[in-house]
């Protein structure tokens, strides 16, 4: 444990993970949030997407285990199933059913409120971390080109001094405004307008649900802009999320939900929704655009300040990348703080850009399959999408291709692994053979 005081803005997953990383290098870490932070897992107003299905990819689960040793077992004790993402989930990609096989890709069937609650309890148990609910951040304090604290409202306006301030306030981050007010240029932004609407509903889990599987997924295709996921959760339930891109909007009526599920490329979600008992009403969420703020491209940035997680890059939620990328950024932040040295922001933003590059490219390239999504379709983008379709076709018969694809999707391997000569050959053979 080092010296100094770090302040984290936001006690959602990104902020909690950042606080855990900073706790190894700072004498005190304060985590600020406007919401009350209860001792039980509940939905929070400050996390409007909390009622939606959240996915922690296999890489994210592994990093979470590094940050909080034993957390997978702790969640299992709370009734959270561990899922083999290749053997126990039926994937329909581009309409092709991926052939299942045992794997080391393990996910957690956990709701967002329970996961956040368990992570928050682990962070709160750290001796040098304090959670400060009911604190609304009004702005930053600076002197001599350095951020040295935050102005907060907690009954009255207060100044909280800090050696480092980390913005983990999510999509509603006010960093662009605060930087402008301090005389800095806001970061260049990349936006991909996808106009996604998604609706989540909980269902009772029976022993014969999904033929004993723990999940299934059917992604959107060029010919069918609708997608859906069924994912196991704690308390013997499944969460079902139906989504649509570019104006396709899942209905929230009982009959409409059933009809929409039946229209997906893969048949299992429609059958599950039709035959299962709902435990909640459908909850709708809209996501207009993926946004990446390129802080690494700024020539001037104040010392003592960082931006992380969704405040740095907000991904299309249908790919389930957000929490895993936030965990990878926290892992990076902890490593850089332990290394010490000057220019933390410059070093962090440069390295974080490389963390983001892979998942951002995967998501954006996939979104650009749809001609109505604005964006530059280079020859590489079109060739990649054509090749991934062949990968999905081959994966319906070749478990090695399926395993390689899922490892990339779960951020375990870089996309380049799918271009190895041995994989190119398997994909070519699979495409010729057909599903």
If you write DSSP's letter for every residue of 340-382 in order, what string do you get?
--S-HHHHHHHHHHHHHHHHHHHHHHHHTTSTTS-S---HHHH
Full strand arrangement of the beta sheet holding 164-167: 129-133, 28-33, 5-9, 164-167, 305-307
- The answer for residues whose C-beta is within 8 angstroms of residue 154's C-beta and 6 or more apart is 132, 134, 135, 136
Cα first-last separation, the chain: 55
pLDDT at 39: 73
pLDDT at 155: 86
> Exposed, middle or buried, 77 (CB in 10 Å: 0-12/13-18/19+)?
exposed
What is the rounded CA–CA span in Å between residue 206 and residue 237?
8
What is the rounded CA–CA span in Å between residue 234 and residue 109?
7
Q: What are phi and psi of 48, to 5 degrees?
A: -60, -25
Place of tokens 């391997």: 413
Report pLDDT digits (tens) over 91-116. Answer: 999 989 999 999 999 999 999 999 99
**Spans of the chain, pLDDT less than 70:** 1, 43-48, 50, 431-435
pLDDT at 296: 97
What is the rounded CA–CA span in Å between residue 128 and residue 359?
33
Give the CA angle between residues 359, 416, 411 to the nearest 5°. Answer: 35
pLDDT at 37: 81
Pairing of strands 28-33, 129-133: parallel
- How many CB atoms are located within 10 Å of the residue 362 CB? 20
Query: Is 0.85 topped by the overall pTM?
Result: yes
Helix (H) or strand (E) holding 57: none
pLDDT at 386: 94
Mean pLDDT, all residues of the chain? 94
pLDDT at 432: 67
What is the rounded CA–CA span in Å between residue 249 and residue 284?
9
Report yes or no: 194 and 244 within 8 Å, Cβ to Cβ: no
pLDDT at 157: 93
**Tokens encoding 79:** 């009734």
For residue 224, give the DSSP letter: B
Report pLDDT digits (tens) over 216-272. Answer: 999 999 999 999 999 999 999 999 999 999 989 999 999 999 999 999 988 999 999
- The answer for residues whose C-beta is within 8 angstroms of residue 423's C-beta and 6 or more apart is 401, 404, 417
pLDDT at 302: 96
pLDDT at 44: 66
pLDDT at 51: 73
Report yes or no: 110 and 50 within 8 Å, Cβ to Cβ: no
pLDDT at 38: 80
CA distances from 264 to 218, 230, 257, 267, 273 (A): 7, 12, 12, 7, 12
What SS3 class is residue 10? coil
């Amino acid at each position: 444990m080092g010296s100094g005081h770090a302040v984290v803005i936001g006690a959602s997953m990104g902020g909690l993970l950042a606080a855990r990383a900073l706790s190894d290098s700072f004498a005190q870490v304060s985590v600020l949030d406007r919401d009350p932070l209860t001792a039980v897992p509940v939905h929070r107003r400050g996390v409007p997407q909390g009622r939606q299905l959240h996915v922690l990819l296999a890489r994210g689960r592994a990093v979470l285990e590094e940050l909080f040793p034993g957390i997978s077992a702790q969640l299992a004790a709370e009734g959270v199933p561990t899922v083999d993402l290749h053997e126990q989930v039926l994937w329909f990609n581009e309409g092709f059913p991926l052939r299942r096989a045992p794997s080391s890709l393990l996910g957690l069937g956990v709701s967002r409120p329970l996961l956040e609650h368990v992570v928050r309890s682990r962070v709160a148990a750290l001796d040098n971390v304090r959670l400060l609910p009911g604190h609304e951040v009004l702005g930053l304090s600076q002197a001599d080109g350095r951020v040295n604290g935050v102005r907060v409202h907690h009954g009255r306006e207060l100044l909280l001094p800090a050696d480092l301030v980390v913005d983990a306030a999510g999509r509603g981050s006010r960093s662009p405004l605060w930087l402008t007010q301090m005389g800095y240029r806001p970061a260049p932004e990349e936006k991909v307008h996808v106009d996604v609407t998604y609706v989540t509903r909980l269902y009772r889990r029976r022993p014969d649900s999904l033929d004993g599987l723990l999940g299934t997924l059917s992604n959107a295709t060029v010919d069918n802009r609708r997608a859906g996921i069924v994912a196991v959760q704690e308390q013997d339930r499944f969460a079902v999320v139906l989504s649509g891109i570019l104006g396709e909007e899942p209905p929230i009526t009982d009959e409409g939900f059933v009809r929409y599920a039946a229209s997906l490329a893969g048949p299992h979600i429609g059958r599950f929704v039709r035959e299962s008992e709902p435990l909640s009403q459908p909850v709708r969420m809209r996501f207009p655009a993926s946004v990446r703020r390129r802080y690494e491209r700024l020539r001037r940035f104040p010392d003592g300040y960082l931006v992380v997680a969704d405040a740095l890059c907000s991904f299309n939620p249908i790919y389930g990348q957000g929490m895993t990328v936030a965990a990878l950024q926290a892992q990076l932040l902890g490593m850089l703080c332990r290394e010490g040295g000057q220019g933390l922001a410059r070093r962090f933003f440069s390295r974080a850009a490389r963390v983001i590059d892979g998942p951002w490219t995967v998501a954006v390239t996939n979104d650009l399959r749809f001609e109505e999504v604005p964006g530059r379709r280079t020859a590489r983008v079109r060739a990649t999408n054509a090749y991934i379709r062949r990968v999905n076709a081959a994966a319906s018969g070749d478990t090695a291709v399926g395993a390689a694809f899922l490892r990339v999707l779960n951020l375990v391997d870089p996309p380049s692994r799918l271009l190895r000569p041995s994989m190119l050959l398997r994909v070519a053979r699979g495409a010729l053979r057909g599903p």
